[in-house]
A and B are shown apart, each in its own frame.
Chain A
Amino acid sequence: MIRVQTENFDPGVELEQMRRENHGQAGAMVSFTGLVRELNEGDTITQMTLEHYPGMTEKALEKIEQEANQRWDLTATLIIHRVGPLAPNDHIVFVAAASRHRKQAFLACEFMIDTLKTNAPFWKKETLPDGVRWVEPGTS
């Protein structure tokens, strides 16, 4: 499942939901949670705004999820990405994979977040005490 949303999410609630729907199939759940750093490139961030390409974003995330499920034997996958204004320490992104054994879930989770970072149309804009700037790729 994929979700793009302005609202916050609770990683614990998401994992518990995944566990409840698992019905004993998977023996492992691996997740990654991305947060807004207060310091980036040595500067203090007061706000981070996520822009995206509605429509294409959902397609790109679904494609990443499909590819993970083709490559590994997974029982469940989840990608959540927030958009809009965020504050330091806020959740940005959540990726989780469940599988019968842990190795597949670890690999799938890493693949999904790494691919999301290069393939999904999101752009970060930082607000600093003295202005705003778009985040350069590779520094986020």
Chain B
Amino acid sequence: MIQLRYFASLRESLGIGDEQIELPDGIHDLPGLTRWLQDRNETWASTLADSRLHVAINQEIVKPDAAVTDGDEVAWFPPVTGG
């Protein structure tokens, strides 16, 4: 299983904050996982296409080509605005 999390405006656009899924067969990295999610429907396709989004795996910001393995927590979010 992998844990997926979505924050802020992204959570609102997708209508979901977190979910657990089986890591889909043949998916080993972030680009693959993102494409798999985008195949769900047009909302997912357009929302996750935003190039400004950041991704954290196991709560550390990662590069766009990062590997994804079973047990990971993967989070997508817009640029941060704290402080």
Contact string against A for B residues 68-83, beta-carbon threshold 8 Å, 1 for contact and 0 otherwise: 0000000101111111
Interface residue stretch chosen among A13-21, A23-31, A116-124:
A116-124
Number of interface residues of B (CB under 8 A): 16
- The CA of A134 and the CA of B10, in the complex, are separated in Å by 10
Dominant SS at the A interface?
A: mixed
Residues of B close to A120: CB separation below 8 A:
80, 82-83
* Contact between A51 and B56, CB atoms less than 8 A apart: no
Nearest Cβ in chain A — how far from B54, in angstroms? 8
- The CA of A51 and the CA of B83, in the complex, are separated in Å by 12
Number of interface residues of A (CB under 8 A): 28
* Contact between B82 and A124, CB atoms less than 8 A apart: yes
Interface: A128 (CB within 8 A): no
Which of chain B's residues has its CB closest to A113's CB? B83
Known contacts A53-B56, A53-B59, A59-B59; decide if A134 and B82 are in contact (CB<8 Å): no
Q: Which B residues are closer than 8 A to A by beta carbons?
A: 5, 7-9, 56, 59-61, 75, 77-83
